[in-house]
Amino acid sequence: MSKDSHSRSSGGFGQQRPQWIYPPQSVLQELSSAKFVHPVYPLAKFCKIGMDNTGALKPDRSALKDMLSAVHKRMQDGICAEWLRRRNSWVGILEASGLARRLILKTNTRTALWLSFPGPTEVGVCLHHVYGVPYLPGSSLKGLARSAMWRDVAPQSTDPPDEVTEIFGLGGDSGHIGLVDFLDGIPLGTSEILTLDVMTTHHAKYYAGNIPYPHDCEGPNPVL
């Protein structure tokens, strides 16, 4: 976080010099001197909001870089190793009894969760609410496994087969719980597992509800 409440942003404003109107200078000073700031704060509660030369309010997209730096520092501090050690202290007992199974998985491509972030930048990432590091929620892993089994057992069925609902459960008023639980996926190592990327929205007016149908006349809108 910069202490200069009127400094030029490196993202979102081009060559314009915005006037930062949020957060207050006192908050920026406290954040800059804090021992630990949760990585999601630059994206959400304390994302700098500025006013450009046209009077429009825009978020400082360099907050994404601030978030990456904070996440990488948490990874280097060994927070994930400690998280894994504490979990293994009790999961190991279940595993020895045949009641749990531990898997080490690696994604084949880049993975992004929680992109629809309810914050000023409107771009987010899945960070643990306490530890501030990327992780794979157990609910996402369970949904992935459920979809894979459904695809293998009954790929043409529009309703989940009994084999799937018996293991993974069934929602609704007449539903029931499943037979398995999935714990959150913890990242291994201390490497920089997050990187900036560019998403290009090709139909911004359509998504905003300003036109009834998408078409190729709209200009793309790259988003960092």
Domain residue extents for the chain:
145-183, 194-224
On the CB side of 198, CA atoms within 13 Å amount to 6
Grade residue 221 by pLDDT with cuts at 50, 70 and 90. Answer: low
Over the chain, what is the mean pLDDT?
80
pLDDT at 13: 44
Q: Single out the residue of 121, 113, 136 nearest to residue 59, CA to CA.
A: 121
Mean pLDDT (whole number) for 102-116? 84
pTM over 0.85: no
Single-letter amino acid code for the residue at 153: V
Joined together, the tokens standing for residue 108 give 């084949």
pLDDT tens by residue, 159-179? 999 999 999 999 888 899 999
Tell me how far apart the alpha carbons of residues 73 and 89 are, in angstroms, rounded to a whole number: 25
pLDDT tens by residue, 176-213? 999 999 999 999 877 778 887 777 667 777 877 888 88
